[in-house]
Structures are given as C-alpha cells and as structure tokens.
Amino acid sequence: MVEEISMDELKFIHASDIHLGSVLHTGTTHKGDIGEIVKKATYKAFSRICNHAIEFEVDFVVLSGDIFDRESKSVVAMKHFIGECKRLNEKGIPVYLIAGNHDPLREQVNIMDLPPDVFIFSGDEVEKEDFISDDGRILARLIGQSYKSRALSEKIHLQYNSGEKSGVWNIGLLHTQLEPGNKNYIPCSLQELNEINNIHYWALGHIHQCKILQQGLPTIAYPGIPQGRDFGEQGPGGCLLVNLVPEKSPAVKFVPVSPVIWKRIEVKIGEGNTGKENENPRNITELQELLYKKARDLVNDIQLKPQGLDIPAVKTENVVEGLVIQWVITGRSHIHNLLQEQDDEEIEEVLIEGLKSFHESRPFLWTDSIIIRTGKPLPDMNIMKKHNPVFQEIENISFDILGKEELQKELLEELGQVWELAEDHENINETKIQLDKETMKTIIDQARHLVIEKILERGGWGED
C-alpha cells in the first residue's frame, strides 16, 4: 500500500550480488588476453556499474548484498570497491548498501577505510538513512538491515516502517530468496512486501537472475548478478536504472555490464529441420561446419538483454568481451550411429578443434564442452499414435511428470541418491548432481525416446 503524493524526481542504480573476488569457473587456465578478461571480469562489471552511475548522473547507488564473494574480503577486492566508491563520491553520488549472506558484517573491522559517502546498514537492527537535497529537504528514505552471519532467519522486512507519510520516496533494501519457507535468507513472500505501507521500491538481492517481480507501486525487483560465473548464471548480467517520477510508477531499465556471457546452446539436427541450411549433417565434417556457422552467428549478434525480461534495456556499445559456450547437440539423425561408434572425448576434441579460431576473435568465443544427446531417427509421432494408443499414453505420462511436482519427487526417488532437486543455489550439495528443470526435461525426453525405440524394435506398430 502506497500513498501517491507529489515528490521530487529521483534517479538511482540498483545492483546486487557483485561477488567481488570470485572467479569464473571455466574449467581451464586461460593465458594471454582471454586470461586477463576472465580474471578481471567481476571487477570490470562493478566498474561499469559505477561508470553508468556517473554517465546517467544518478542521485545515488543502492547495493542489495553480496558485494563481496566471501566474508574475509581480500585486499584486492576491497581496494577495488573503495576505489570505485571514491569515484562516485567525487561526483556527489553516495552509496547505500546492505551486507548479504556471502559478506556478513559480524564483528570484523574493515581492512581499509571506506569513503565518507558509503553507508552500510547495521546487522543488529533495521536502520533508516535519508537522502537529503542540497537545500536540506529529505527526498528519499532508504531502509535496510545487513546480515550479521551466513543466515538471517528473522522476518526483518516486517519492521521496514518508513516513518514518513508524504513527500518522500521510500526504498527498502532486502537480501532474500523470497520464499516464506526458507529459514536461511529472510523468510518472506511477495504478498508480505505488498502489505508493508508506503514502500515505493523494493531493492532485492540474492537471486542471480534479473527479475521484475512487480511493476507499479511498489515496484519489486532483483537486478541479478552483474557477471555470471558458470552455466548456472547464463546470459547478460547487469544492474537496474530506476527513475522515480512523481505520481507515476517507477520506470526501470536494464543496464548490461557483463564482460563475459555464459550460454548453453542447443543445436538440433535431423531430418525434421528441413529448410534450415546444413542442419542435417551427414558426417563429422558437416557437423563441424554447422557448429562453426552457429558460433559465427553468436559472435556477430550478441544479445544484451536477459531472455524473457519484460523491461527496456539501456542502449550501450557492445560491452561483451567474450562468450563461454556449452554446445548441446540433440535431435534424431542418421549421424547418430556414426557418433555412437566413436569415443565421446575424441568426438568432442575434434569438434572443439574446429572452433578454436574463435579464441582469437573479439569478442572471443570459448567452447567449454560439447554434449551429444542425439538419437536414432523415429517415424512421425502423430502417425505412431494413430497406429498404437500406447504411444499417446507414453506422451501423456511425460507431460504429467513435467507438470506435477509430486511426480517429479517420485522420479527423483527412483533415480537414486546421486540426484538432488536444485532449490537453494547457495547451499548446493557438491556430492550430488543438481536436478534443475532443464535437466529434468532432458531425462524425461530421453526416457520417452528410449521406450519408443524399444517398442519399435519389437515391432510395436500394431494395436496389440
């Protein structure tokens, strides 16, 4: 609930989960230019956030937790953070931040002095800090509380009382997974945030994907991680540019800043791709050529806005310096038997060799791995369903599992103890394989196709 009172127009940048000091998990040690780009990627992403703050002449910057990757902040990470904040302060741009679960406050003293216009919210209680105009008026009130340890189980957001009834923009900083049942990262729901009076913008952190959960008053948003570090953090990362305009909903734009983008690319081959040039390769050479073409297209047309994000993106120059790609080759093709006859590692090595020229391009394209999930060609599914209702039943079961959580849990039990549903990205059990929605769909599709293959091998076209 928000009172609509005329206020001054304000502009700020909202960022979170910068994870200064973390590394990109490319699985190899890069040398030369690529090595430098990968090593400095998280630092450069934060520098770009500060560049944009200066470029857009924002009033202040809001950082919603996990600025550093770990509690024991490295000297290099702290020095970089302080240097960038000094640049902002020189332009009259203050920084307001909360510590998250990766960089909790505890009782430690900062290893370096912070610039004067960097305000860190307390870990002991909810605090308020005012942004004041040159003529002494309160224009915005920022409300937040830092983590004091690796977990925060209290519903601290219920204490985010602005204390102001009119004429002031109220911004809540909260580092939460936004799940009422999660006791580690501020148990909270979207409904609860909406019920808190007079908050105009909820600046959330912790989720690494950019999400605008709600537009209007209040606007509720995650900016996501500015620089992804593995394939769990795919796509362009950035921050949010927020305009608070009197008597209007906050206007939010995505600002891309990632030097390196991770992407998992599915390459579907087979006779079903008629009309698409060379997408039914007959041999390894043609498969190499297909991957090369797709790599060239990726380098020449880099998307700077996360897929599915329903807000405009700020137009910037192509900030991307490199792509890290995992190719997943799927589909049902006659080349499947040829691929099955070869050693997987040898096939991968040969295919990657044909893409190495992209290491020298700018932006570079680095192939992390090539996964082959092809199958034998199958007759048309619609024809098979007409001949035998069993095929329809197989398809129905597949769709049921994908749509019903209880069936997914039953499947998980059948798969064995090496799998775990990926629910909490901060507490991953590294002894188990994380079963996300994409992996679940792949397993179900493969199982469905295997069952169909076995039926066809036994001549299962009849009504019996």
Residue after which a domain boundary falls, among 230, 255, 280: 255
342 with 359, same domain: the answer is yes
275 and 350 assigned to the same domain: yes
Phi then psi dihedrals of residue 180, to 5 deg: -60, -30
Q: Does 4 map to a domain?
A: no
Same structural domain, 225 and 276 = no
Q: What is the domain extent for residue 212?
A: 10-255
Domain identity same for 342 and 391:
no
C-beta neighbour count of 174 within 10 angstroms: 26
Q: Tell me the CA distances in angstroms from 136 to 132, 133, 140, 213, one per residue in order.
A: 6, 5, 12, 34
Asked if 356 and 243 sit in the same domain, the reply is no
Do residues 352 and 418 share a domain? no
What string of pLDDT tens digits covers the 464 residues of the chain?
Answer: 555 445 899 999 999 999 999 999 988 888 889 999 999 999 999 999 999 999 999 999 999 999 999 866 889 999 999 999 999 999 999 999 999 999 999 856 566 789 999 999 999 999 999 999 999 999 999 999 999 999 999 999 999 988 765 789 999 999 999 999 998 999 999 999 999 989 999 999 999 999 999 999 999 999 999 999 999 999 999 999 999 999 899 999 999 999 999 999 999 998 654 445 448 899 999 999 999 999 999 999 999 999 999 999 999 877 899 999 999 999 888 899 899 888 989 999 999 999 999 999 999 999 999 999 998 887 777 777 777 788 788 888 887 777 777 777 777 666 665 556 555 555 555 445 556 666 777 777 777 767 777 777 776 655 44
In a domain, 5, yes or no: no
- Residue 1 located in a structural domain: no
* 292 CB-side CA count, 13 A: 15
330 & 398 share domain: no
Domain count for the chain, please give it. Answer: 3
CATH number of the domain that 84 lies in? 3.60.21.10
For residue 463, the model assigns a pLDDT of 46
- Domain boundary pick from 211, 229, 255: 255
Question: Which of helix, strand or coil describes residue 408?
Answer: helix
User: What is the distance, to the nearest Å, from the Cα of residue 212 to the centroid of all Cα atoms in its chain?
Assistant: 13
**Bond preceding residue 259 cis, omega within 30 of 0:** no
Q: Is the same domain home to 20 and 97?
A: yes
Would you say 340 and 385 are in contact if contact means Cβ atoms under 8 Å apart? Answer: no
Domain stops at, among 377, 408, 426: 377
418 lies in some domain: yes
Question: Is 110 a member of any domain?
Answer: yes
Q: Identify the residue whose tokens are 């997974």.
A: 177
Cα distances (Å, whole numbers) of residue 388 to 20, 379, 381, 396: 58, 13, 10, 14
| Whether residues 372 and 387 fall in one domain | no
Residues 327 and 398 in one domain: no
Residue 265 lies in a domain: yes
Do 82 and 165 fall within a single domain?
yes
Question: Is residue 49 located within the same domain as residue 96?
Answer: yes
